[in-house]
Amino acid sequence: MHNDLKNENPVLDGIDRRLVETLTANARTTTADLARQVGMSAPSVADRLRRLEESGVIRAYTLDVDPVALGYTLEAIVRIRPLPGQLRHVEGLIQEIPEFVECDKVTGDDCFIARVVLRSISHLDGILERVTEYAETNTAIVKAHTVRRRLPPLR
Amino acid sequence: MHNDLKNENPVLDGIDRRLVETLTANARTTTADLARQVGMSAPSVADRLRRLEESGVIRAYTLDVDPVALGYTLEAIVRIRPLPGQLRHVEGLIQEIPEFVECDKVTGDDCFIARVVLRSISHLDGILERVTEYAETNTAIVKAHTVRRRLPPLR
DNA sequence: AATGAAAGTGTTTATCC
DNA sequence: GGATAAACACTTTCATT
């Protein structure tokens, strides 16, 4: 049995957890509304948010934008294995191509795993052509979002 | 040449783009601040945000929470290929295990590509043991975030 | 679609516990 | 860490263009 699941000293207390959960659902919830929800004063809630920001738990308040509504009707996960000596170049290329909306450097055969959003299959082809000059790629088209980005357990 | 890159009828005009970019950086920017930035009145900006929400471009105002600050010091990408007849079961399992913070159903050999956050290697082992009863898995440890979640081109 | 004005709310700072 | 109170700022609605 590993001990890291029954966390005796959770980073967040129950009130912080409720604040984080509510703001994850709507980051524009007013401090006054948050305060009413948790039964505290607005200044106390503002203080807690400041601490959550300073401790790095809240990295940013951001937007969830739907790529489909912007015309990116196709999404793919591309595994990328740079050719010998091309790692830095490939890394820069991924960072430069804005259709790559996310990319992780990972262990194993594939050096990078990236998410790309596209307007069409020909758009995908155009981008892969730029990458395959310097790397082997393996592309999987996204058919459905089984789990949408969500919070991990907060304790 | 494919026509979908030189988008003649962009979904968003220049002002909408600035609103979306500013809110992506800080979703709690006040409507009054947004209005000053784009040189409009606050009610006009509020109207535009309402339209961006109703058209589905803004799916939600949300939080970017750092898993590391919550003690999830390890992150992995797991490719999952359910054993024959286990697809539905595996899908449910991934949805139930909260450490899977994201999962896409994709074409190709791997049926699912998931992101998992973990407190330790033994934590990873415990979760993979639950999955490997019903699926073959292939795990890549995330070494770095080459491209952090970002907006695709807005035109 | 956008504006200005006004009423209603929310935020912030200082002070106290 | 948390509360209250007051000054200041923001939001929302409505009439107007």
In this structure, what token pair is assigned to residue B101? 């913070």
Shortest CA gap A59–chain B (Å): 5
Find the CB nearest A104 among B11, B27, B142: B142
Note the pLDDT tens digit of each residue in B82-111: 999 999 999 999 999 999 999 999 999 999
Q: Mean pLDDT, consecutive 10-residue segments, chain A of 155 residues?
A: 55 96 98 98 98 98 98 98 98 98 97 98 98 98 98 96
* Mean pLDDT estimate for chain B: 95
Q: Which nucleotides of C are covered by protein (CB under 7 A)?
A: 1-5, 9-14
Q: What is the pLDDT at residue A4?
A: 53
The pLDDT-based confidence of B11 (bands split at 50, 70, 90) is confident
Any idea what DSSP says for residue A145? E
In this structure, what token pair is assigned to residue B116? 């998992």
Task: Give the pLDDT mean for B44-70.
Answer: 98
The pLDDT-based confidence of B10 (bands split at 50, 70, 90) is confident
In this structure, what token pair is assigned to residue B153? 């081109």
Q: d(Cα A65, Cα B109) in Å, to the nearest integer?
A: 29
Q: Which nucleotides of D are covered by protein (CB under 7 A)?
A: 1-5, 9-14
* CB A123, CB B5: distance < 8 Å: yes
Q: What is the pLDDT at residue B46?
A: 98
User: Virtual CA dihedral for A22, A28, A33, A38, nearest 10 degrees?
Assistant: 30
Pairing of strands A100-106, B135-147: antiparallel
Tell me the nt nearest to B47, Cα to C1'.
C1
The pLDDT-based confidence of B8 (bands split at 50, 70, 90) is low
The alpha carbon dihedral of B82, B83, B85, B86 has a sign of negative
pTM across the whole model: 0.95
**pLDDT of B1 strictly over 60:** no
Shortest CA gap B31–chain A (Å): 11
